[in-house]
Structure 1
Amino acid sequence: MELKQNYPNPFNPATTIPFTLSGDLFANGHRPKVSLKIYNVLAQLVAVPILQGSGEPLTDLELTCGTPSPGACPFTAYWNGKVLDTDTDAASGVYIYQLVVDGRRFTKKMIIMK
């Protein structure tokens, strides 16, 4: 599994977050449970990006691997830069994004610069 750096970074107003899940996660029909959340530096939840292609928020989604690259299944999340459940732009600053796959956590930083 790999959580990649968002791009662009720094960004304003929106960003893309790529991640790859290893093909063995999908063995025997298993559908890994995946969440991706964005937090501010105070560890407060700011947003839940959507999974590109489905438009669904990445909260406990059970993903399937459509067309795997050799040994891996690529996915892309999108965040419009808005605070969760509002039309308010997130403030400039450092944010943490965390991918959780079947309970395993992967974390990176991103920057909004206005």
Structure 2
Amino acid sequence: MKSLPNIRPTLTALALLLAGCVVGGVPQSAPQSGPHLSPTECRDLAALRSNAPPTMAQHQSELAALRKAGYDPSPWYDDPYYPDDLQAAQRLVDYWFNTECHPSPPR
């Protein structure tokens, strides 16, 4: 029979896993005051929406914005909430983009 100290880490891990399921599987970020997107993210997201050939830096900037919106791409092989969690993060990033990123004046 196993002793109690050997079972405790397993029970702790199970409790944390179940707690993650209760909140919907998407990490909840702390409220942030001020803009959510950096000027670089605004610029890169605008470039991605312009149908120009994307760069790796622009994709990384988009992923950083999605992570800020609560998306975690790490469980790609076994994510029961995919694609709903990705689409929710995309909607939030789109909202931030539309409200925080001002189009640059034409040259």
TM-score calculated relative to the size of structure 2: 0.22
TM-score calculated relative to the size of structure 1: 0.21
Structure of greater Rg: 2
Bigger relative contact order (CA 8 A; separation at least 6): 1
* Bigger helix fraction: 2
* Bigger strand fraction: 1
